Amino acid sequence: MIDIIFQFPKSAVYFFRFSRKYINKAVYRHTIAMVLAIILIRGSRNYANVTRLFLDSRSKSSISRCFTDSVFPGFVMQEHLYERLLTEASSISGKTAHIIIDSTAQKKQGKKMENTIIYKKGYTCDHFFVMGMVYFPGTQVRIPLPRRLYHTKAYCRKHNIKYRTQVQLAEMMLRYAVLPKDMKVVVVFDSFFPSKSLIDMIKQKGYHFVCSAKKNRVDSETGKPLNEICEEHISKGHIKDRVDIRVPSKRSRYNHSSAERYETKTFITYTEKHTISKMGEVKVVFSHKEGKNVQLKDMRYILTDMLDLTTSQILTIYTYRWQIELFFKELKSYLGFGNYQMLTFKAIIRHVDCVIMAFMYLEHLRICKLKQNPGDKRWLYSRTLQMSYVLQHELRLSNLKYLKRYLKDEKGFSELERKLIEKIPLVA
């Protein structure tokens, strides 16, 4: 662990340099400081620890005021960084992209926090965040879409904000997602999101979708829900096609020594076309994992509007949805997504913005490594934790260059000594 950072690394200054037009110099410095602290500090990422990490940082009160009182256009900065990452990734990732949408809950104990939903008889207070990401399977590049935060009805009334459901937020996220016109885009989501408005938005933009569906989705022609149709197929013995899907092994998700290996999952399936209410003509895959008896409660229904795909291709695309679950895990485990104790939701939003920008910065480092070493599979399978070690190495090299510059003469040494004494006060 690096105890003190003497100066910002060049890659961070380069990555955030165009954000200077949205914020003043002080907020710009505090933003880079918070992003680096989120990546490097393990445990509590409070303002006091941020000031201890940087040699030339201001007092913790100035950083606190920056993220609670001053103007902080985190959403606009995310939009700009998203466009930059997309341009960088498009040159190495091909012409097919997958937009994955999901929501996550962050459990907190503070009942006085704003914008919480109380569950389990008042024992937990949850904040909900609707997230999306652009995923390129070939290079495994993951680019977060600008966040959409769910506001409760009580919070909307208090702050005079229009209330939107999580499905409406997902639709808004998709509406403003900017992708190259010559790129084929497939939207992947679970059974919570396939509303008529979202499906219409996908078709309007010329995209395609692969999603799971609930059992009560109705076939427009027969009027039967999917579970009744599935029950008929089970009774007739139609669900018997064996399909093998190759997916990255669990170890490869965390850059284990077996990262290049894949594991095979086998599904027993039956595929046919249906006209589903509010979704149009789709291909439906009735499937369950091998090794289980064919029972209605174990069946899953995977739908897509790409009628020319095979069953294996449909299931492979749907397995990409797991990437956003890994994204949530990395945000919470390694970047302190839930390590906030602020009461006002405004301050929580700014913390979330810094966490997402920290993930974007690490993904930028990985894309740069992929461009420099296209045949090196280390960078193909590296994730948040491994890229944080890469950043630590870069900071060590930056610290050495800083020390060499200041130790050339006696005056520079005296100035460095004074700064270090201020940073590390003597203890009696």
Q: Residues 284-290: contacts with CB within 8 Å, 24+ apart?
A: 284/213, 284/226, 285/311, 285/314, 285/315, 286/230, 286/233, 286/239, 287/239, 287/243, 287/315, 288/239, 289/265, 290/242, 290/266
Q: What is the full DSSP assignment across 252-311?
A: GGGT-TTTT-EEEEEEEEEEEEEEETTTEEEEEEEEEETTS---GGG-EEEEES-TT--H
The residue count for the chain: 428
* Residue-level pLDDT at 92: 87
Residue with tokens 């495994």: 140
Residue 142: helix, strand or coil by DSSP? strand
Tell me the chain's radius of gyration from C-alpha atoms: 25
Chain position carrying tokens 């461009």: 371
Query: DSSP string covering 76-110, please?
Result: HHHHHHHHHHHHHHHHHH-SEEEEEEEEEEEEE--
Amino acid symbol at 84: R
Torsion sign over Cα 78, 81, 83, 85: negative
Q: How many CA atoms lie within 13 A of 418 on its CB side?
A: 7
Q: Which has the closest alpha carbon to 274: 319, 231, 317, 222?
A: 222
Helix (H) or strand (E) holding 423: helix 410-423
pLDDT of the chain along its 428 residues, tens only? Answer: 467 888 889 999 999 988 888 888 888 888 888 899 899 887 777 777 787 788 777 677 777 777 776 678 888 899 999 999 999 998 888 889 999 999 998 887 777 788 888 765 556 788 889 999 999 988 889 999 988 889 999 999 999 999 999 999 999 999 999 898 889 999 999 999 999 999 999 999 999 999 999 999 999 988 999 999 999 998 888 988 899 888 766 554 544 454 556 778 889 899 999 999 989 999 999 998 887 677 888 889 999 999 999 999 999 999 999 999 999 999 999 998 888 877 788 888 888 999 999 999 999 999 999 998 887 788 888 889 989 999 988 988 888 888 888 777 777 777 777 777 776 654 43
Residue type, 170: A
3-state SS, residue 148: strand
At residue 121, the pLDDT reads 58
Q: Which residues contact 314 (CB under 8 A, 6 or more apart)?
A: 210, 271, 283, 285, 302, 304, 306
What is 191-207 written as a DSSP string? Answer: TTS--HHHHHHHHHTT-
Tell me, what's the pLDDT at 6? 84
First to last CA, the chain: 26
Q: Are strands 280-289 and 300-304 parallel, antiparallel or unpaired?
A: antiparallel
User: What residues are paired with 243 via a beta bridge?
Assistant: 267
SS3 state at 229: helix
Rounded to whole angstroms, the Cα distance separating 327 from 135 reads 11
Question: How far apart are alpha carbons 97 and 90 in whole angstroms?
Answer: 9
